Structure 1
Amino acid sequence: MKRLFLCSSFADVANLFVDCAKEDLQGKIIAFIPTASLTEPIRFYVKKGKKALEEAGMIVEEVEITQLSKEEISSILHKCDYIYITGGNTFFLLQELKRKGVDKIISK
């Protein structure tokens, strides 16, 4: 069963994510997608979220949608245990996900 963990400020609730995962996160691979934050002037939360994931023992694989091909993104996502999408401009994020066809990859 797939689960979704939604929050506003991940670094402040990272411990809840660890509890929600119901498994040891040490060594698990997480796709870190910062694309929504690219158009934002304030981005401190991106680094804080990434650091919180690393502190939980996860291997963070950055996936910047605008910089990679659909094939590269697909390859990375298929090897990851989790997907993390930072906050920011959701319209820009959706535009880029659809432009590359990544929305369909994630929904599978």
Structure 2
Amino acid sequence: MSKILLTSNGFFTDVIKQHFLQLIKGHLASKKATIITTASQQKQTNKFAIKAKEDLLRMGFNQVDFTDVEFDKPDSLENYDVIYINGGNPFYLLYHLKKSGADSILKKLAKQDIVFVGVVLEQLFLDKT
């Protein structure tokens, strides 16, 4: 069963970081994370996506990637232990999740030991799945 952390401001505080780390089983260095950047106009150059990547690397993840479900193959999401959904336009994100089939993959992953982080309005998507 997956674990979900909903936050309005990413890993802004140490308390949020600690709650997140408590959801992770095993050594962080062996875990892979991806940041879904589809909702943001700036995609992977969005300052909040960049900060999230820096935070995850500082916490001990060796691999943190960006995924844009509008352009990337949605089945690539199956390769990650943590899926961080960055803020932006939730309607744009939801449209591309459905169009690409990533919504079905995320629903399947929700039954596994995956950690989801939803930031700002992406909580609407996570609440419905």
TM-score category, normalised to shorter length: 0.7 to 0.9
Summarize deviations over 1:2-23 as a string: whole Å, max 9, x none: 1111111113133331123244
Q: Paired residue for 1:64?
A: 68
Q: Paired residue for 1:103?
A: 103
1:25 pairs, out of 28, 44, 52, with 28
Q: CA deviation at 1:39?
A: 6.7
What TM-score, normalized by structure 2, do the two folds share? 0.70
User: What is the one-letter code of the residue matched to 1:73?
Assistant: P
Conservation of the 8 A alpha-carbon contact between 2:35 and 2:49: no
Summarize deviations over 1:22-77 as a string: whole Å, max 9, x none: 4432231012111111279xx42221111101111221121111222xxx320x21
Query: Are positions 1:37 and 2:24 aligned together?
Result: no
Q: Paired residue for 2:52?
A: 49
- The residue matched to 1:97 in structure 2 has which SS? helix
Count of residues in Structure 1 that have an aligned counterpart in Structure 2 = 102
Conservation of the 8 A alpha-carbon contact between 1:14 and 1:53: no
Identity %: 32
Q: Paired residue for 2:87?
A: 87
Runs of 4+ off more than 6 Å: none
CA distance in 2, matches of 1:9, 1:23: 25
Bigger proportion of residues as strand:
2
Structure 2 gap segments, 5+ residues each: 109-129
How large is the RMSD of aligned CA atoms in angstroms? 1.9
CA distance in 1, matches of 2:78, 2:25: 21
Summarize deviations over 1:77-98 as a string: whole Å, max 9, x none: 1221111110111111001101
